[in-house]
Chains A and B, each alone.
Chain A
């Protein structure tokens, strides 16, 4: 089998480490491998590098460097943020999330429910946009924490952060934002947004895997989740992943430049060409979340009457990497909770493919996808027993797993 060049359109899953990031990291494996907590210059001097990385990450989100706590990943950030927020507010045993959060938020909330907390879930509309009225209503009961994403990983839908912040702060609750997908793809300025806790991850912005950060607003009480040494001002123990943190810092700086220099706008142009090209060439497809504000890099398209895994396998044979919300690709037997929360019909939902681009995506890669996708969809549709919405099978919706 010949190895095909890779068309990587799965950047919401993870990204390529940039050349600049890799070069910034290597010296901290090869030469300067010390422990920053050591009482010698060889190790101790590394705290300067970490301080610089902290400033670079803080600059990406308009924070002060003391407000940045480094973690091992986005999931750790979300877990520790939620646990800390609740332990600081023992009289209010109630947490609000949206229906489309990442599993590392929803599963924590589920666990909290078994510990006696109330978990209130705010729904989304057919475009995946948050129901602000429902949030306002839910906030009438004293609530410890509201946890919302900034942008959704599957659809790229961006939530109205200013409006959410206003509601949350009026109600006197703490606000945690999972900004793993938004950071680096759109500007965030925490000087003008009343967020208390905010999660970031390095590998979604061309940094290394295994590194993340949690923003903790100054004067917010923070209960550490991982106990041990005094690292991160006592807020997160464990020897610093020096090379990883330096890589994250560099990635944050490059992402900030990409936003300021309109590189991100170029990515959006490429995404639009891909999306509009697919819609023009292929009948019976729908952009999920297409009617509201979205990240510029993400396109989630439902190709009706065919199944996502079969599309992904076909794309894979052309070296094209994407992902799907269909049941067969989810690792469980249920289709994506995000698309189900949007009440997308099953004929669209199971054939939904997410293309997520980055600043390394090219016109040639879009051309290739536009070239092969119509054939793939056509072939699978010829195999399918479904071809319109009226067949009797499609009416058997009561057999569907409910979200």
Chain B
């Protein structure tokens, strides 16, 4: 049984923006469509964007999804996230932002957020008349043959999400999750993407958690408390710090900004530059 956040369940049971747009004769708007995934792989998303031509801006978005609970919720989240963005801004949206919007996804389901990001890219490139393949000229090598995943895609997701293990790559991209033949190749890409640092070896978990607690106590909690909120550390898994926001923070609409800019940025600056802060339900 997957442990989904309330937000995932809410958007699964009552999705926002499902469906597509009726064709319109209005010359000031255009419809762009992006399709990713396949029924064979077990999930697929068709994203529809209504674009204001003069401003190059997304007026509205709809989705059609074949997939599991979190695939449906991720698609719905994506449509909410991109409304009002210019196409250039939308291209900057990462899968992490989709996951954050959902209050986090189980790691094994992160590929649902990646699918959302890819559909967005596909829709915008379709609209602009760019072949997606042309943009990745260097993507020579097909790494995962089961799920048709290339090395450039793997490198991109490793970099954007700070991935450290082949298991994480599988959770985000499915790559390596079929026959498993490419796991060695994924290990190699990880090695190249995460060069071993020359710095001192990482401190033991207990020491790291104590350091994190100290920084939160001194530099973070006072600010959150000033706004009627609080933060609770739930655990540290690799470079991923699991936290819960409490009080006003837990219901605040900018809680993902709080996490990223107030909590994660400060901890990175003071302690570990690889640290990722993730909100858990």
Contacts of B67 in A (CB 8 A): 307, 310, 328
Verify B45–A335 contact, CB threshold 8 A: no
A307 to B68, CA, bound (A): 6
The interface stretch among B36-44, B85-93, B253-261, B267-275 is B36-44
Which residues 20-77 of B sit at the A interface, judged by CB distance below 8 A?
35, 38-46, 64-69, 71-72
Verify B174–A333 contact, CB threshold 8 A: yes
**Given A307-B68, A385-B66, A346 and B40 contact (CB-CB distance below 8 Å):** yes
Verify B40–A385 contact, CB threshold 8 A: no
Is residue A397 within 8 Å, beta carbon to beta carbon, of the partner chain? yes
Number of inter-chain CB pairs below 8 Å: 98
Is residue A327 within 8 Å, beta carbon to beta carbon, of the partner chain? yes
Within 8 Å by CB of B66, from A306, A334, A400, lies: A306
Verify A385–B35 contact, CB threshold 8 A: yes
Verify B177–A334 contact, CB threshold 8 A: yes
A326 to B2, CA, bound (A): 14
A47 to B67, CA, bound (A): 54
Is residue A222 within 8 Å, beta carbon to beta carbon, of the partner chain? no
Verify A333–B44 contact, CB threshold 8 A: no
Is residue B146 within 8 Å, beta carbon to beta carbon, of the partner chain? yes
CB distance from A348 to the nearest CB of B (A): 10
| Residues of A within 8 A of B (CB-CB), count | 32
**Given A384-B66, A385-B64, A333 and B178 contact (CB-CB distance below 8 Å):** yes
Is residue A350 within 8 Å, beta carbon to beta carbon, of the partner chain? yes
Verify B64–A400 contact, CB threshold 8 A: no
A401 to B35, CA, bound (A): 20
Within 8 Å by CB of B179, from A317, A393, A401, lies: A401
CB distance from A284 to the nearest CB of B (A): 13
Is residue A48 within 8 Å, beta carbon to beta carbon, of the partner chain? no
Is residue A114 within 8 Å, beta carbon to beta carbon, of the partner chain? no
**Given A383-B18, A385-B45, A385-B65, A334 and B178 contact (CB-CB distance below 8 Å):** yes
| Residues of B within 8 A of A (CB-CB), count | 32
Which residues 352-403 of A sit at the B interface, judged by CB distance below 8 A?
382-386, 393-394, 396-397, 399-402
Contacts of A308 in B (CB 8 A): 68
Which residues 170-195 of B sit at the A interface, judged by CB distance below 8 A?
170, 174, 177-179
Within 8 Å by CB of B42, from A305, A317, A335, A397, lies: A335
Within 8 Å by CB of A310, from B12, B44, B179, lies: B12
A326 to B71, CA, bound (A): 14
Verify B64–A327 contact, CB threshold 8 A: no
Contacts of B66 in A (CB 8 A): 305-307, 350, 383-386
CB distance from A285 to the nearest CB of B (A): 16
Contacts of A241 in B (CB 8 A): none
Is residue A309 within 8 Å, beta carbon to beta carbon, of the partner chain? yes
CB distance from A191 to the nearest CB of B (A): 43
Verify B69–A310 contact, CB threshold 8 A: yes
Q: In the complex, which residue of chain A has the Cβ closest to the Cβ of B67?
A: A307
Is residue B147 within 8 Å, beta carbon to beta carbon, of the partner chain? yes
Contacts of A335 in B (CB 8 A): 42
Contacts of A29 in B (CB 8 A): none
**Given A310-B67, A384-B65, A385-B35, A397 and B40 contact (CB-CB distance below 8 Å):** yes
Contacts of A306 in B (CB 8 A): 66
A308 to B2, CA, bound (A): 13
Is residue B156 within 8 Å, beta carbon to beta carbon, of the partner chain? no
Closest 4 CB pairs of A and B: A333-B177, A400-B40, A309-B68, A385-B64
The interface of chain A, by Cβ under 8 A from chain B, is 305-310, 313, 317, 326-329, 332-335, 346-347, 350, 382-386, 393-394, 396-397, 399-402
The interface of chain B, by Cβ under 8 A from chain A, is 2, 12-13, 15, 18-19, 35, 38-46, 64-69, 71-72, 146-148, 170, 174, 177-179
Some 17 contacts from A to B, beta carbons below 8 A apart, are: A307-B68, A328-B67, A328-B68, A333-B147, A333-B174, A333-B178, A334-B177, A346-B40, A382-B19, A383-B18, A385-B45, A393-B35, A393-B38, A394-B39, A399-B38, A400-B41, A401-B41
